[in-house]
Amino acid sequence: MPTIEIRGLCKRFGKKVVLDGLDLVVPQGRNTVVIGGSGTGKSVLIKCVVGLLRADEGEIRIDGEDVTKMDERELVRVRQKFGMLFQGAALFDSMNVGENVAFALRRLRRYPERQIQDVVEEKLAMVGLRDIQHLTPAELSGGMKKRVGLARAIASEPEILLYDEPTTGLDPIMADVINELIIRMRESLGVTSISITHDMASAYKIADSIAMLYKGKIIEVGTPAEIRHSASPVVSQFVEGRAVGPITAEHEEFVRFVRGSGESGERKEQ
Amino acid sequence: MAKEGNRIGLNAALEKFGTRVFGMLEDLGNIFVLLLQCVSWVFRPPSEFRNIVKQMEEVGIRSMPVVLVTATFTGMVIALQSWSGFQRFQATSLVGSVVALSITRELGPVFAGLMVSGRVGAAMAAELGTMKVTEQIDALVTLATNPVKYLVVPRVIAATVVLPILVVFADLVGILGGYFVAVYLLGANSYVYINKTYQYLEFKDIYTGLVKAAVFGFLIAIISCYNGFIAQGGAEGVGRATMRAVVASSMVVLISDYFMTSLMF
């Protein structure tokens, strides 16, 4: 089973620095949850891990192999270790549920068709769905889409699962169903996983360890209990969801700065 | 004060223009890269044969009615126009040749190209754009599938192969449309009309038209796929990508048509 080691990861978009020398180690068979505000680069982080985005600097080692230096053909091989659940499930809407789940199986391995049907049925059963192979994604509810997305991600038996905001946009009950599934995936399949979320209830429930992403760096890693009682003012503001604290103070300062410079600009023109 | 204001206005306009030019060059470079990727993925397993057939059906069979209707009416209107023009110097016997040559050399491929730009180009850009903004293209990548190989290669191959076939039918019905108007509505002599059609039509006229059609199909598919791939920002972004795909591919059809004609004849 693999570990993921990220060292000094940098990613910029134009002038905007999103990840700025990020370090994170994801131990094997564990669920690491990365928390952080919207737009702090959580999605960018896992997209770099799976090679959807190219890192500008730093290294990402999957089982010791650095994916940032790989060419596309090697990446295809490494990506077979991964399964990813997307925020909006990202089901292929030109295909029905069965074809979605079977997609990687048909592309990668030459299973006989009969066997593929069995695997699809089994994976759907693992996420608590049955007899919906013929439905199209448009006919599914948000929670069902996510579960089908999860079934598709685990169809080719990945060693690493990446969850992009698995509970966002779901009602609390469905969110908990997804949380239970994520825990079950770890227990029954033994997969290593990275989840990113800003839903603290979900993070506390599914995490073996929680890492807080702030200003392009991981500023604290700990067990759920440690994070809950963190001494860091930034972490504690985030996990307790307070409107007042260091994270927003800076924002307010920025707003004041912009307003201030705007006013002085006007004055200059006069 | 006013002078300074003018200068700022001019600078801003120049800057805007420069940004546009750089944007276009960037697009051009990216399309070229996409083309190279297509070439590098086309022969690698697994085969996309079923996908190609599906796209051929989409581009070919579904576009057939539109292309046939436009080609028929184009042939008809040329017969009508050239008849009234040629009457002025008693050359109505040449209407058959005019129809046949203009349809096979120019109007068959160009109109088919424009119709396919609108119909297929828009569909490709909208589908790929939606897949992009809903992360379906990212999902393909995580399912060990290269999106260029899976999405772009089959579309480009299908459009390149199918457009000439569409044009064969367009040529046929265009000439028939002209014949119908000339002979049944304007009273031309059927024998003379057919004779003149054959007399001046060379095989070269037909195959150059088909080569043009293949190039159009290729350009439409790759431009539309590219615009779909770079879509971002939800429904609005997909709309913009679709619009750009249709405008760009229609323009490219007409522009490349000029250069191909000047090279071929």
Question: CB-based contacts of B231: which residues, under 8 Å, 6+ apart?
Answer: B125, B128, B129, B130, B132, B133, B237, B238, B240, B241
Confidence of residue A79 (pLDDT cuts 50, 70, 90): confident
Partner-chain contact A86 B139, CB within 8 Å: yes
pLDDT confidence of residue B3: 60
Residue B249 and residue B224 in one domain = yes
Q: Which of B130, B134, B145 sits opposite A107 (nearest CB)?
A: B145
What is d(CA A127, CA B47) in angstroms, rounded to the nearest whole number?
Answer: 31
pLDDT confidence of residue A265: 43
Distance of residue B147 Cα from the nearest chain A Cα, in angstroms: 11
pLDDT tens digits for range A218-251: 888 888 888 888 888 888 888 888 777 787 777 6
Helices A142-154, A113-126: inter-axial angle, 10-degree rounding: 130
The helix or strand, by DSSP H or E, that contains position B263, with its residue range, turns out to be helix B234-264
Partner-chain contact B142 A84, CB within 8 Å: yes
Residue B11 belongs to domain spanning: 1-41
Residue B217 and residue B100 in one domain = yes
Distance of residue A116 Cα from the nearest chain B Cα, in angstroms: 16
> Closest-CA residue in chain A for B134?
A90
Residue B214 and residue B153 in one domain = yes
- Residues from chain A that touch B142, judged by Cβ atoms under 8 A, are 50, 52, 79, 82-84, 153, 162
pLDDT confidence of residue A270: 38
Most confident of A90-94, A215-219, B85-89, B218-222: B218-222
Partner-chain contact B135 A87, CB within 8 Å: yes
Partner-chain contact B146 A76, CB within 8 Å: yes
Confidence of residue B211 (pLDDT cuts 50, 70, 90): very high
Percent of chain A whose pLDDT exceeds 70: 93
Distances (CA, A) of B227 to A13, B56, B245: 20, 20, 6
Confidence of residue A42 (pLDDT cuts 50, 70, 90): confident
Structure tokens that stand for A43 in this block: 């999605």
Residue B7 and residue B122 in one domain = no
Residue B231 and residue B146 in one domain = yes
Residue B77 and residue B93 in one domain = yes
Smallest CA-to-CA distance from B99 within B187, B174, B18, B21 is with B174
* Structural domains of chain A, with CATH: 1-81+158-230 (3.40.50.300), 97-153 (no CATH), 235-270 (no CATH)
Residue B37 and residue B52 in one domain = no
Confidence of residue B242 (pLDDT cuts 50, 70, 90): very high
pLDDT confidence of residue A169: 80
pLDDT for residue B52 is more than 80:
yes
Distance of residue B47 Cα from the nearest chain A Cα, in angstroms: 10
Residue B11 and residue B76 in one domain = no
pLDDT tens digits for range A188-197: 888 888 999 8
Distance of CA A259 to the CA centre of its chain: 35
Could you count the other beta carbons within 10 Å of the beta carbon of residue B79?
Answer: 27
pLDDT confidence of residue A105: 84
**CB-based burial of residue A260 (10 Å sphere; 0-12 exposed, 13-18 middle, 19+ buried)?**
exposed
Structure tokens that stand for B11 in this block: 């600078």
Distance of CA B239 to the CA centre of its chain: 20
Residue B238 and residue B114 in one domain = yes
pLDDT confidence of residue B185: 87
- Residues from chain A that touch B127, judged by Cβ atoms under 8 A, are 94
Confidence of residue A2 (pLDDT cuts 50, 70, 90): low
Residue B2 and residue B125 in one domain = no
Residue B111 and residue B150 in one domain = yes
> Closest-CA residue in chain A for B48?
A107
pLDDT tens digits for range A16-31: 888 888 888 888 888 8
DSSP B206-238: HHHHHHHHHHHHHHHHHHHHHHHHT--SHHHHH
Q: Which of A50, A72, A93 sits opposite B142 (nearest CB)?
A: A50
Q: Among all chains, which residue has been given the structure tokens 């996983």? A: A193
Please tell me whether residue A18 adopts helix, strand or coil conformation. Answer: strand
Most confident of A204-208, B40-44, B155-159: B155-159
Residue B114 and residue B30 in one domain = no
Partner-chain contact B144 A76, CB within 8 Å: yes
Residue range B22-31: mean pLDDT, rounded: 86
DSSP type of residue A244: S
Structure tokens that stand for A153 in this block: 């991600």
pLDDT for residue A269 is more than 60:
no
The mean pLDDT value of chain A amounts to 83
The mean pLDDT value of chain B amounts to 88
Question: CB-based contacts of A11: which residues, under 8 Å, 6+ apart?
Answer: A17, A18, A19, A41, A44, A48, A53, A55, A56
Q: How many domains are there within chain B?
A: 2
What is d(CA A90, CA A149) in angstroms, rounded to the nearest whole number?
Answer: 7
